[in-house]
Amino acid sequence: MEQVFSYIIGLGAAVMMPILFTILGVCIGIKFGKALKSGLLVGVGFVGLSVVTALLTSSLGDPLKRVTEIYGLSLQIFDMGWPAAASVAYNTSVGAFIIPVCLGINIIMLLTKTTKTVNIDLWNYWHFAFIGAVVYFASDNIWWGFFAAIICYIITLVMADLTCKQFQSYYEKMDGISIPQPFCQGFVPFALLINKALDKIPGFDKLNIDAEGMKRKFGIMGDPLFLGVIVGCAIGALACKNSHELVDSIPAILGLGIKMGAVMELIPRITSLFIEGLRPISDATRELIARKFKNSASLNIGMSPALVIGHPTTLVVSLLLIPVTLFLSVVLPGNQFLPLASLAGMFYLFPAVLPITKGNVLKTFIVGLVSLIVGLYFVTDLAPYFTQAAQDVFARTGDAAVKIPDGFNGGALDFASSLFSWIIFHAIYHFKFIGPAALVAITLGMAIYNRTRILKESGHTDKQQINH
């Protein structure tokens, strides 16, 4: 079974997603041609994102390595990026069964009215498999691995329900959509606490500038495209040892600036393909399930956060945080992780944060800054366990994506920096039965609270329908 899933995952999201969504579309009653086009558009969207994010990491890779050499920076955790994390996740017994197990949990929660999210974001199930795989290798117990994955899945579904109204009201054309991705939802607690704290600062509300406001106030200087060029040129300049090398490298510096500007401009255009491809699937799925659950409140379709990472505030804040995070990773005491390959994952930190900060660039930047500082320490802390899992997978599969250079531990910002992964891992690994019992109590409490809320909303909706 592991070999079968490894082969399927090896196809990549660009191939797997069109196949899955075409089959799903036909199964829910969409004509084959329309389902195929939807699936292909999703696949094209993944290809586009892969190309753009590869442009980001490949363009920044050499300049950032030169910066680390020039300034004598030496950190012991090698950034493997999300491909390695996904490979570790799916090349295990936990990953081999994670999709059917989680779909089964989703159905049970729908039947018990403890969620109203139907999570069809199948590719990102690797996040649940990842925490399960790390717990599995650390504890040498497959059942603890499945337990960790299921706990994370239930919490994420509840969080998707709790944040869906704000999400749908903030983003355009997102009616009936929720984001059940644990990496995104893991930053919601930070956003809620920091946003509330900032609101208590006298006069802070006057600093309410969103990305569009930046354009109006600063003109071209506030445009994500222009900011991309500036930050790219700045990083290119820092990679020069002296003024002579700086002058000789002007063409390369300008080229890096243009490439960073291209990333900022292309991502929003690519995400529109996701919306176009997923919309028919989303609408048909919601209608079908609503017919099967007639007495429930309207259900939401769980989709990839890639739908909204092209938002201007996400682009601006992500771009500003890249050099800041690199600087902090070097100066923070105790941190051993320098993010390079993971920089492309920066955009996925904000989809569930923006509805809380209302797109305020300064608030969002502060939330991102605090989250990433904590995240760097999370990655450092989990690196030995990530390395253990990656080494085992490489020994069995020979997958180059999980090969860690000699003398280093491995890490990845994607999900290894998440609050969910860190808490779940340590609760199970260090506290044995007390930790898992606490996780069960918290998860059950969240599910019961969510059920109460759903039933209340459903009753309110029924009364409205009767009145009309």
Range 301-310 burial, b when 16+ CB lie within 10 A, else e: bbbbbbbbbb
Amino acid at 67: V
- State how far the Cα of 46 lies from the Cα of 55, in Å rounded to an integer: 14
> In tens digits, what is the pLDDT along the chain, a chain of 468 residues?
555 555 655 666 667 778 877 887 888 788 888 888 888 887 787 777 777 767 776 777 678 677 767 766 667 887 877 777 877 887 777 877 887 899 899 999 988 999 999 898 877 888 998 999 999 989 889 899 999 999 999 999 999 999 999 999 999 888 888 999 999 999 999 999 999 999 888 877 777 776 666 555 555 555 667 777 887 888 888 888 888 888 888 888 888 888 888 877 787 777 777 777 777 877 777 677 667 666 555 788 888 888 888 888 888 888 888 888 888 888 889 899 988 777 777 888 899 999 999 988 889 999 999 999 999 999 999 999 998 888 888 887 776 667 887 778 888 888 888 899 999 999 999 987 899 999 999 999 999 999 999 988 876 555 555 455
- State how far the Cα of 426 lies from the Cα of 419, in Å rounded to an integer: 11
Alpha helix (H) residue ranges in 239-311: 243-248, 250-292
Strands 117-119 and 409-411 come out as unpaired
- State how far the Cα of 166 lies from the Cα of 155, in Å rounded to an integer: 18
Cα distances from 82 to residues 43, 53, 414, in angstroms, run 18, 11, 6
Q: What are phi and psi of 462, to 5 degrees?
A: -60, -40
Angle CA 446–419–54, to nearest 5: 125
- Which pLDDT tens digit goes with each residue over 265-308? 787 777 777 777 777 877 777 677 667 666 555 788 888 888 88
Cα distances from 334 to residues 194, 268, 329, 418, in angstroms, run 24, 36, 9, 18
